[in-house]
Structure formats: C-alpha cells, structure tokens
Structure 1
Amino acid sequence: MTENMVMSIVKEALYTSMLVGGPILILALLVGLLVSIFQATTQIQEQTLTFVPKLIVIALTLVIGGNWMLQEIIKFTNKIMNMIAVIKG
C-alpha cells in the first residue's frame, strides 16, 4: 500500500462523510439560526424550543434522504472492501 493510495482513501472517506453528513448539519444549523432569531425577537428564552425543531428537521432529512445516504455509504464500503481484496491478493 503506497502513500498515494492511503491519501486517496482518506480523501474519499472525508468526501463521503461530508456528502452524507452535510445536509443534516446544514439544515440543523439553519433551523437553529431561525429559532434563535425568533427567540431574540420575542425574548422567549426556552432551551427546549431549539431542540424540538432541530430534531424534527433531522428526522425528516433522514426519512427523505436516508436511502441516498445509505447508498453512498454502501458504495464507499464496497470500494474499500474491493481495495482490501486487491491488496491482499
């Protein structure tokens, strides 16, 4: 296993993790920002007010995009397993 091969695997792993986790994190960030703006304007300082909308948005994102996310993870895993088989001989 060469250094280039290891760097390629790390690069692909980081890309796949950003591709799969990115939508969830971005939507949670946007919902948190909107709820924070709402709290600042209405002066409601309830801690659970930010948690529940984020939880709902994350669940909806997983329901809508979960199949695609799983397929991306499976593709990456298959690629890694095939590389292991080729290296092992």
Structure 2
Amino acid sequence: MTPQFVLTVGHDALMLLLMIAMPVLGVVMAVGLLVSIFQAVTQIHEATLAFVPKLVAAVAVFVFAGPWMVSTLVDFIRRTIESIPSVVG
C-alpha cells in the first residue's frame, strides 16, 4: 500500500461525503434562511417554526435523492472492497 493510494482513497471518500451531503445541507440552509427572514418580518420567534420546515425539507430531499445517495455509497464501498486484494498482495 503506497502513500499515494491512501491519499487517493481519502480524497475520494471526502469528495463523496461532500457530494452526498450537499443536497440536504443546501436545501435545509435555504429553508432556514427563508424561515429566518419570515420570522424577522413577522416578529414571530417560535422554535418549532424554525425546526419543522427544516425537518420536512430534509425528509423531502431524502425521499427524492435517497436512492441516488445509497447507490453512490454502495458503488464506492464496492470499489473499495474490490481493491483490497490489489492492496494486500
């Protein structure tokens, strides 16, 4: 196992992490911004008003992007497990 191989696997894992997390984080951040603007305009500062829309948005993203996320993770894990024999021997 070479240092270059370890760095490549680590880089691929971090890029995969960012690629999978971005849809959920982006949507939740946008919903949070909209809710905070709504709270600032109406001066309604209820904690559930900030939490529930973000939760619903995150669930909606998981419903739509979940199969893509799982298949991407499975592909990465399969490639990693299949590369074990070349690394060991």
**TM-score bin (small chain):** over 0.9
> Unpaired segments of 5 or more residues in structure 1?
none
1:59 aligned partner, one-letter code? V
Q: Paired residues, what number?
A: 89
Superposed CA RMSD in Å reads: 0.8
Matched, 1:20 2:20: yes
Quote the sequence identity (%): 39
Mapped to 2, the partners of 1:70 and 1:85 lie a distance apart of 24
| Structure with bigger RCO (C-alpha 8 Å, 6+ apart) | 1
Q: CA deviation at 1:62?
A: 0.5
Q: Match for residue 38 of structure 1?
A: 38
- Following TM superposition, the consecutive aligned residue runs of length 4 or more in structure 1 with deviations greater than 2 angstroms are none
Q: What's the TM-score, normalizing by structure 2?
A: 0.96
Q: Deviations over 1:4-56 (max 9, x none)?
A: 10110011001111111110001000000100000000000101111100110
> Unpaired segments of 5 or more residues in structure 2?
none
* Structure 2 SS opposite 1:45: coil
Mapped to 1, the partners of 2:85 and 2:20 lie a distance apart of 25
